[in-house]
């Protein structure tokens, strides 16, 4: 009836995007195998670049190269950023160099720097040489920063105005940028020397008359970081102050770039993987995407180190051979005591590592978390000691045996809690990553202590057992 | 010389904000203790609400109540959201009810719902009754959703226009909102029934002439979720598609709210804590902020369960008493074998849990990760087996002893790798959280298997040892 009814259809039609499910994936695999380019392109047109990236990850590298070759540059640049290490390496190696330059040219400077940074030196040079001069100098600048710092994750694309500019001018700056980049959330205000003075959120730009000076309406207390700040520290700032776009300056305060919250989401996920990897004694960056042999090579040094540390526990056991051979039932309680005290130590360590990372724990006030942890492990150790003591009494038939296993349990759990709490704080105060001491080293250490306490106590009371 | 020089000073002066360091913290503590209200207020005025929240967290609850009472409502609402559980509970309990209503009224609906949801039923009711009707009905709506779903984390505040509205109208909607809420990143377009049709980024609004219809320029393929989607799934969407603001609809497509990326940053941190807690066999939500006794109570059921599982390992050891008493050196190798196979299982499990969470692993194609894991553990187990075999040979003096410990190591590491890979996939396919099977249960299970393999092999070869 009204003309809107027909109009209504248009955007919905053109905007419809396909979701990737197993069925679609199968169709795509079949089309790739039968090289049905036309049908394949038809499907790909209705997909988001991110989804195309994930589809390519599920194809063999060969098939991936083939599909990637069909993509227009703008889509290819989005898809490339979603590829896993293996597919990305093969595709960037196989792609004609001019094509690679075009695709990298479509990216924001931070993503372009990430991709170029992963290429072989020779290939990176040839890409940078054939790129637009402004873009290549931006990428070269970004590559100079450590990849785990604010400088390493910032982008050069941003809306910047001079302190004497008006709101009208700021809007026109945003307009010019808006066609090329997607994530403009604020406009940064600088002085004649490029020193950052403040920022204005886009929504606030709309509040003022066009002739208003930006300097009068900017937020001069806007958070900022220097290029050398660690990316995890940057993530904390985003989280604490609900930031979406953070300006990065040099030590003199000159505006050099900005970090957007999408990069921070990546940092948080990376950090998550690192922490889990450390606690389980593996290597960060080891993912299900690595080749199995590569995974084994990454893991081996850690596993072998754990093996040699555990050997010390073995030597301790050996030292008590006499006691063990007289009361062989003691051997049955060894796995229990070492598992529980290892577990307590790991939990305490994980809690403190996380507390230090979030700022809830201050290692300079080490006695506070230690006191708390000691109370907790006193209760946990007490309960476990009583439980195991009763089990030991019933099993061996003598109350004294129960006393030995129960009190060993209690003592070693308390020891583990203290060590688990103190070691991450010590490594932090020495400037190391506190997470390093959590994990297998912690476990080996707990085993050694647990077994020593247990078998020493047993030896002392041996005459009555 | 130019008038700018003097103008330059103004925003820097007014915008300067204090950073919280130990020195400032000490000053504040002294001022609180001496009840120097005037000086205290002077410092607080130069701080961000988030920082004030963190300062209060470092004070005793009593002192916290005192400082919080001095804050103006707008600052108090920002600070309240940063408080840890303990301080928040005490402050919301002690605050006069009218004051609490005012402070909650200053918050965005999602934060208000979080705070009201934590109050006692009685107090929550009285706050809702005294609030502005529109706000209280929003909060009541949000409280009805599960707190771990899209509905539970969304806010009601958002810029919405009708499909026939113009760009000019959209800008005026943003302007009206911009005075009250901070995070407007896009305008959502709905039809006459409130059904979501698409979205326009603020930066794109600036690109078009005021008379352009929003329907013509909106992104109709904009991602959206329904209220029941799990918050971790929502976080994946933000991460994959670099979203800053995601509309939430009911199943019919009616726009109900939106989620902003700052909430997703919180979700990712929560998820991180949960994963670490599960792997270390603790409880999620157990933080350094809990009272030590509370922590012990939270941990105890897990620790005791681990203890009883490990008891099975003890029973296995007991079954081989004969063998052990004949070759007591075997006991020295028990901790090593159980630690290494436990570690392998934990790593495999953590990798698969993470892979399932990020979508890299599809549990319905369980043979793919399993095959990969088997290759990895074959190599790792082989290397460890050879290393331990040589150690055993040298230590005991007979090659056969080396063969027993080396091959036990090899077999149990491979077993652990398989179990560590398969169990999370099985729990996922049964609808459980795959992370539940990582951690202490895994470890206990590995111990049982490792010890069984080791002592059985030793018993078989006993006659030659």
pLDDT in tens, B187-222: 999 999 999 999 999 999 988 999 999 999 999 988
Residues of B in contact with A17 (CB under 8 A): 221
CATH number of the domain bearing residue B260: 3.10.580.10
Sign, Cα dihedral of B175, B180, B184, B188: negative
CATH number of the domain bearing residue A365: 1.10.357.20
Q: How does pLDDT run across A359-390, given as a tens digit for each residue?
A: 677 777 777 788 888 898 899 999 999 999 99
User: What pLDDT score was predicted for residue A290?
Assistant: 67
Answer yes or no: do A203 and B184 touch at CB < 8 A: yes
B3 belongs to a structural domain? no
Answer yes or no: do B220 and A324 touch at CB < 8 A: no
- Whether the predicted pLDDT of A17 surpasses 80: no
Q: How does pLDDT run across B235-287, given as a tens digit for each residue?
A: 989 988 899 999 999 999 999 999 999 999 989 888 887 777 777 666 555 55
Higher-scoring residue by pLDDT: B338, B437: B338
CA-based nearest residue to B414, from B448, B375, B447, B465: B375
Residues of B in contact with A261 (CB under 8 A): 244, 261-262, 265
- Whether the predicted pLDDT of B455 surpasses 70: yes
A114 belongs to a structural domain? yes
Contact A248, A234 (CB under 8 A): no
Instruction: Say yes or no: B325 contacts chain A, CB-CB below 8 A.
Output: yes
User: What pLDDT score was predicted for residue A386?
Assistant: 95
Answer yes or no: do B239 and A281 touch at CB < 8 A: no
Q: How does pLDDT run across A251-286, given as a tens digit for each residue?
A: 999 999 999 999 999 898 888 877 777 766 665 555
Q: Are residues A428 and A452 in the same domain?
A: yes
User: Number of folded domains in chain A?
Assistant: 3
Q: Name beta bridge partners: B187.
A: B159, B200
User: What pLDDT score was predicted for residue A228?
Assistant: 93
A11 belongs to a structural domain? no
| pLDDT-based confidence at residue A9 (cuts at 50, 70, 90) | very low
User: What pLDDT score was predicted for residue B9?
Assistant: 33
Answer yes or no: do A331 and B324 touch at CB < 8 A: yes
Higher-scoring residue by pLDDT: B120, A12: B120
Higher-scoring residue by pLDDT: A297, B169: B169
Domain final residue, candidates A114, A129, A151: A151
Q: Are residues A164 and A145 in the same domain?
A: no
Q: Are residues A311 and A410 in the same domain?
A: yes
Query: 3-class DSSP state for residue B346?
Result: helix
- Whether the predicted pLDDT of A37 surpasses 50: yes
User: What pLDDT score was predicted for residue A285?
Assistant: 54
User: What pLDDT score was predicted for residue A294?
Assistant: 80
User: What pLDDT score was predicted for residue B252?
Assistant: 94
Q: Are residues B319 and B422 in the same domain?
A: yes
B108 belongs to a structural domain? yes
Domain that holds residue B236: 159-279
Nearest to A335 among B201, B288, B310 (CB): B310
Cα separation, B461 vs B315, whole angstroms? 21
Chains A, B: CB contacts under 8 A, how many? 380
Written as six digits, the tokens of B328 are 């007591």
> Rounded mean pLDDT of A424-429?
81
Cα separation, B398 vs B414, whole angstroms? 25
DSSP B230: B
Q: Are residues B265 and B368 in the same domain?
A: no
**What was the ipTM of the complex prediction?**
0.78
Q: Are residues A306 and A427 in the same domain?
A: yes
Contact A351, A344 (CB under 8 A): no
Cα separation, B383 vs A106, whole angstroms? 46
Nearest to B299 among A179, A347, A391 (CB): A347
A4 belongs to a structural domain? no
| pLDDT-based confidence at residue A6 (cuts at 50, 70, 90) | very low
Answer yes or no: do B175 and A313 touch at CB < 8 A: no
Instruction: Say yes or no: A388 contacts chain B, CB-CB below 8 A.
Output: yes
User: What pLDDT score was predicted for residue A283?
Assistant: 57
Pairing of strands B255-260, B225-226: unpaired
Phi, psi of A180 (to 5 degrees): -100, -40
Cα separation, A446 vs A377, whole angstroms? 14
Instruction: Say yes or no: B262 contacts chain A, CB-CB below 8 A.
Output: yes
> Rounded mean pLDDT of A126-142?
92
B182 class by beta-carbon count within 10 Å (0-12 exposed, 13-18 middle, 19+ buried): middle
Residues 8-37 of chain A whose Cβ lies under 8 A from any Cβ of chain B: 8, 11-12, 14-17
> Rounded mean pLDDT of A310-336?
89
| pLDDT-based confidence at residue B7 (cuts at 50, 70, 90) | very low
Answer yes or no: do B359 and A54 touch at CB < 8 A: yes
Contact B346, B279 (CB under 8 A): yes
- Whether the predicted pLDDT of A116 surpasses 60: yes
- Whether the predicted pLDDT of A12 surpasses 70: no
Q: Are residues A253 and A343 in the same domain?
A: no
Q: How does pLDDT run across B366-404, given as a tens digit for each residue?
A: 777 888 888 988 999 999 999 999 999 999 888 999 999
Nearest to B265 among A238, A292, A346 (CB): A238
> Which of these ranges, A341-350, B23-32, B83-92, B391-400, has the smallest mean pLDDT?
A341-350
| pLDDT-based confidence at residue B2 (cuts at 50, 70, 90) | very low
Residues of A in contact with B372 (CB under 8 A): 288, 292, 295
Q: Are residues A307 and A388 in the same domain?
A: yes
Contact B420, B345 (CB under 8 A): yes
User: What pLDDT score was predicted for residue A138?
Assistant: 94
Q: Are residues A198 and A112 in the same domain?
A: no
Cβ-proximal residues to B220 (8 Å cutoff; 6+ apart), any chain: A11, A12, A14, A15, A16, B197, B198
- Whether the predicted pLDDT of B159 surpasses 90: yes
A310 belongs to a structural domain? yes
Domain final residue, candidates B79, B114, B148: B148
Instruction: Count other C-beta atoms under 10 Å from residue B12's C-beta.
Output: 12
Residues of B in contact with A346 (CB under 8 A): 280-281
> Rounded mean pLDDT of A43-72?
89
Instruction: Say yes or no: A183 contacts chain B, CB-CB below 8 A.
Output: yes
Domain final residue, candidates A126, A151, A176: A151
Instruction: Say yes or no: A350 contacts chain B, CB-CB below 8 A.
Output: yes
User: What pLDDT score was predicted for residue A14?
Assistant: 37
Contact B446, B341 (CB under 8 A): yes
User: What pLDDT score was predicted for residue B13?
Assistant: 34
Nearest residue of chain B to residue A78 (CA atoms) = B241
Q: Are residues A235 and A309 in the same domain?
A: no
> Rounded mean pLDDT of B439-452?
80
Q: Are residues B104 and B172 in the same domain?
A: no
Which of A373-387, B19-33, B440-454 has maximum average pLDDT? A373-387
Higher-scoring residue by pLDDT: A78, A443: A78
B376 belongs to a structural domain? yes
- Whether the predicted pLDDT of B104 surpasses 50: yes
Answer yes or no: do A203 and B197 touch at CB < 8 A: no
| pLDDT-based confidence at residue B54 (cuts at 50, 70, 90) | confident
User: What pLDDT score was predicted for residue A351?
Assistant: 79
Instruction: Say yes or no: A411 contacts chain B, CB-CB below 8 A.
Output: no
A36 belongs to a structural domain? yes
Q: Are residues B236 and B297 in the same domain?
A: no
Q: How does pLDDT run across A62-115, given as a tens digit for each residue?
A: 899 999 999 999 899 999 998 988 889 999 999 999 999 999 999 999 999 999
Strands (E), A289-358: none
Answer yes or no: do B338 and A335 touch at CB < 8 A: yes
Q: In Å, what is the CA distance from B201 to each residue of A202, B108, B170, B205, B207?
A: 10, 21, 11, 7, 10
| CA A234 from centre of chain | 13
User: What pLDDT score was predicted for residue B327?
Assistant: 86
Q: How does pLDDT run across A166-210, given as a tens digit for each residue?
A: 999 999 999 999 888 888 999 999 999 999 999 999 999 988 999
What are the b/e assignments for A193-207, b being 16+ CB within 10 Å? eeebbbbbbbbbbbb
Instruction: Say yes or no: A209 contacts chain B, CB-CB below 8 A.
Output: no
């Amino acid at each position: 009836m009204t003309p809107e009814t027909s109009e209504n259809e248009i955007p919905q039609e053109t905007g419809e995007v396909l979701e990737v499910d197993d069925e679609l994936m199968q169709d795509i695999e079949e089309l790739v195998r039968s090289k049905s380019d036309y049908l394949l392109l038809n499907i790909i047109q209705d997909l988001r670049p991110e989804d195309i990236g994930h589809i390519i990850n599920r194809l063999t590298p060969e098939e991936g190269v083939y599909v990637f070759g069909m993509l227009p540059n703008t889509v290819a640049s989005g898809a490339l950023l979603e590829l896993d290490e293996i597919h990305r390496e093969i595709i960037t190696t196989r792609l004609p160099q001019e094509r690679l330059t075009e695709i990298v040219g479509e990216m924001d400077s931070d993503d372009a720097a990430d991709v170029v940074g992963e290429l072989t030196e020779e290939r990176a040079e040839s890409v940078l040489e054939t790129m637009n001069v402004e873009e290549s100098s931006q990428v070269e600048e970004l590559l100079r920063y450590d990849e785990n710092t604010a400088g390493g994750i910032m982008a050069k694309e941003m809306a910047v105005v001079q302190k004497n500019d008006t709101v009208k001018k700021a809007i026109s700056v945003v307009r010019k940028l808006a066609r090329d980049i997607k994530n403009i959330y604020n406009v940064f205000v600088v002085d004649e020397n490029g020193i950052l003075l403040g920022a204005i959120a886009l929504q606030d730009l709309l509040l003022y008359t066009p002739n208003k000076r930006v300097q009068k309406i900017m937020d001069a207390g806007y958070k900022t970081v220097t290029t050398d700040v660690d990316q995890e520290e940057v993530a904390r700032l985003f989280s604490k102050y609900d930031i979406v776009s953070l300006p990065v300056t040099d030590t003199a305060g000159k505006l050099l770039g900005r970090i957007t919250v999408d990069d921070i989401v990546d940092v948080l996920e990376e950090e998550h993987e690192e922490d889990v990897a450390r606690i389980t004694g593996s290597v960060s960056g080891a993912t299900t995407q690595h080749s199995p042999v590569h995974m084994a090579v990454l893991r081996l040094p850690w596993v072998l180190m754990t093996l040699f540390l555990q050997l010390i526990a073995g030597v301790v056991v050996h030292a008590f051979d006499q006691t063990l051979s007289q009361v062989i039932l003691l051997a049955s309680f060894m796995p229990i005591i070492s598992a529980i005290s290892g577990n307590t130590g790991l939990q305490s360590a994980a809690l403190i590592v996380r507390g230090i990372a979030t700022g809830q724990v201050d290692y300079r006030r080490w006695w506070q978390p230690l006191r708390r942890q000691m109370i907790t492990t006193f209760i946990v150790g007490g309960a476990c000691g009583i439980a195991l003591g009763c089990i030991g009494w019933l099993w061996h038939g003598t109350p004294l045996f129960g006393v030995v296993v129960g009190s060993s349990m209690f003592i070693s759990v308390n020891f583990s809690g203290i060590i688990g709490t103190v070691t991450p704080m010590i490594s932090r105060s020495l400037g190391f990553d506190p997470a390093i001491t959590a994990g297998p080293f912690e476990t080996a250490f707990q085993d050694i202590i647990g077994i020593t306490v247990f078998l020493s106590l047993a030896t002392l009371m041996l005459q009555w057992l």
